[in-house]
A and B are shown apart, each in its own frame.
Chain A
Amino acid sequence: MSDVATFSDEVAPVQPGSPILEVYGLVKHFRADHGVFGGGAIVHAVDDVDLEVRPGEVLAIVGETGSGKSTLARCVLRLIDPTEGRVVFDGRDVTALKSRQLGGFRQQVQPVFQDPFSSIDPRWRVGTSVAEALTAFGIGTKQERKARVLDLLDQVGLDPSFAQRHPHELSGGQRQRVGIAAALAPSPRLIVADEPVSALDVSVQAQVLNLLADLQRDLGLAILFVAHDLAVVEHISHRTAVMYLGKIVETGPTESVFREPRHPYTQALLAAIPHPDPARPLVGSPLEGEVPSPIAPPSGCRFRTRCPVVIERCATDEPAMTVFGTGHTAACHVAEAELRQAG
């Protein structure tokens, strides 16, 4: 428990606008010992990723299967150790901390998963699950924890009677509300949400998105929002980072990324959205082929094997991030050349 106190005492108060989460040069490689990738090969899940999240900001990480977005989230949560790079929370490097020293970090950075009960004992009552973090961190007396659970259930729009129920009695939307209540229990400052609404029906998804948005605003929470649904991301996030094959290829204010995507992959991804509006038809499939294996990612730009505007240089030089507007960057030789011509 002393770690909790030590952690909060040591750090300086957050400057307005200074990031609550910083990630520098994050790399995560897995050794594929068995399975379809064959023995001994290295899976380049995340490669040299930088990002930051400010207090009260929703940063969305979007990408398709194999983009590394969930691995990135798990590294940030310190559920897995990064191979290289640094994770800095509230000005403090937490990369090297042993799990014993992570208490304060674990309290202030809470996960919300697609299925909140995938890791919870199905025999536990909802109240016990919501109180789990409080119990683990020794926050409050038993009575105080009980009161806090009822308060949290109320915050996520559930009746107090839910504390006595079991997970199997709940609908998908109610389960996710419980998952959010449990994440909020230790008063975190950053939520890392990995596909929090993708298992939900449209009408229930709207309820949970509203809840997340309200809590985010009212509590000033920062959220790292990992998702594949671009309409959801455009609706809820302030900034968006687009990942492809372990790399962030574009990042910027959400409106700017969606209105003026600079990277050909972002452009293709947005063009592939089936809009719920027959007046905005899909214009053919924007990309040929499939994502290459993360075991042997292409040299240079990783997107070059599927890129519609690929040039020779893309195979040899890895493109650096170019600034296209306020906070809007993308890593593409072609886009950079166009920018220079225009300027």
Chain B
Amino acid sequence: MSDDLLVLEHVDVGFATDEGQVSAVSDVSLSVAEGEIFGLVGESGCGKTTLAMATMGLLPRTATVSGSVRFQGRELVGLGDEELRRLRGDRISMVFQDPMTSLDPTFSVGEQVAETITAHRDVDRDAARERALALLEDVGIPEPERRFDDAPHRLSGGMRQRVVIATALANEPALILADEPTTALDVTIQAQVLDLLRELRTRLRTTIVLITHDLGVIAQICDWIGVMYAGQLVEVAPTGQIFRTPRHPYTQALLAALPTHEQLPGTLRVIPGRVPNLAVPPPGCRFSTRCPFVMDECATVPPLAHETDEHRIACWLSEATRQAGGRPSRTVSGGAA
């Protein structure tokens, strides 16, 4: 797998809290190939953002990270703060949900893009300004010359997010981690930003890890999808397979819970129960407490095993079905309320 840009192996993230050690991410292994858009999807508290922050070395000191995160063959876990800082904004960039967390309200948007360049490259101010203008134009800011000196608050939410993306692109990073980049935007503006991300991937072959709860967004722009539940990665497959033939009971339940006009009001599938407290997670599969197919084996963590060449899931049921030589014949079901 020489074209894998990012490889995570057995990543665990724990937080020390008043309730004790919280296991926010548990034994996650995945790889992201160069030039691909990889979607990490799951509901609140599933660990998707924590995993991204761990990759970037951005977690607070209360967090303990173990396992391996290799970026372009280089191990990032245990790397010093200074070296991580040099990587961030240069080889790896981040885009967050709220553009104002990335933008300094006291500097003009153009200066901020230019500053990202001068922080990592030995270029003079004029060259940085020139490049910043080109970037602003690239991400679809109309009249970049006129916008360059505007403070962030003068721009709309959609325009701000474009500026953040311009900043993220400033040093032609190999990888962009985008955490809910369109969640705060209106649907017509979201469509524009998704278009932009897709175009950047095609034009610059930038690898993007997109973290979101929005199944519509990942369906539209991701090549591969990893589904997380309560800190565990439960399914990884190409986008078409996740949506056409979801194999993990959680993925199936999640997709079945989406509202559609075909379903009569009041008849949406629900997932009974609640996400477990990660200070005292259930042993084995963490979805087992809500899974309609739970079996004795589920008390042991199932490995993320190949269903097909490209489709992997962490579920004993599938393992058992496969060993019996049969195909899983489950109907999509979230179980009764």
Contacts and interface: CB of A to CB of B under 8 A. Distances in A.
Interface of A: 36, 58, 64-65, 157, 171-172, 201-207, 209-210, 213-214, 216-217, 228, 230-232, 234-236, 254-255, 258, 268-269, 271-279, 281-282, 284-287, 289-291
B194 A290 contact: no
A206 B186 contact: no
27 contacts: A36-B154, A64-B189, A201-B43, A202-B213, A202-B257, A203-B257, A206-B258, A206-B259, A206-B270, A217-B266, A234-B259, A236-B265, A258-B261, A272-B191, A274-B216, A274-B217, A276-B219, A278-B239, A278-B240, A279-B240, A282-B191, A282-B194, A282-B195, A284-B195, A286-B191, A287-B191, A290-B158
A66 B232 CA distance: 39
Contact of B257 (A172, A205, A285): A205
Interface of B: 43-44, 142, 153-154, 156-159, 186-192, 194-195, 213-217, 219-220, 239-240, 243, 253-255, 257-261, 263, 265-271, 274, 334, 337
A202 B215 contact: yes
A269 B268 contact: no
Given A209-B268, A235-B268, A274 B191 contact: yes
Contacts of A235: 259-261, 263, 265, 268
Contacts of A289: 142
A272 B258 contact: no
Contacts of B261: 234-235, 254-255, 258
* Residue picked from A65, A276, A287, A290, most chain B C-beta under 10 Å: A276
A269 B188 contact: yes
A291 B157 CA distance: 11
A194 B21 CA distance: 38
B44 A210 contact: no
A276 B261 CA distance: 13
A285 B195 contact: yes
Contacts of A36: 153-154
A281 B194 CA distance: 12
B271 A276 contact: no
B312 to A, nearest CB: 19
Nearest to B290: A203
A277 B337 contact: no
Given A207-B337, A255-B261, 12 more contacts: A202-B254, A204-B43, A205-B259, A216-B265, A231-B216, A234-B260, A274-B191, A277-B243, A278-B220, A285-B194, A290-B156, A290-B189
B220 A274 contact: yes
A289 B213 CA distance: 26
A20 B119 CA distance: 62
A275 B188 contact: no
B186 A210 contact: no
A290 B142 CA distance: 11
B249 to A, nearest CB: 12
B194 A202 contact: no
B186 A64 contact: yes
A36 B157 CA distance: 14
Nearest to B242: A278
A203 B194 contact: no
Given A206-B259, A268-B188, A276 B159 contact: no
A271 B159 CA distance: 21
Contacts of B271: 203, 206
Contacts of B154: 36
A278 B237 CA distance: 13
A289 B189 CA distance: 8
A70 B265 CA distance: 23
A234 B214 CA distance: 17
A206 B268 contact: yes
B215 A64 contact: no
A64 B213 CA distance: 20
A145 B279 CA distance: 38
Contacts of B274: 171
Contacts of A210: 265-268, 270, 337
Contacts of B157: 65
A277 B156 contact: no
Given A268-B188, A282-B191, A282-B195, A206 B214 contact: no
Nearest to B261: A234
Contacts of A255: 261
* Residue picked from B154, B192, B213, B337, most chain A C-beta under 10 Å: B192
A291 B266 CA distance: 35
Contact of B188 (A171, A213, A285): A285
A310 B219 CA distance: 32
Contacts of A228: 186-187
B240 A202 contact: no
Contacts of A204: 43
A230 B187 contact: yes
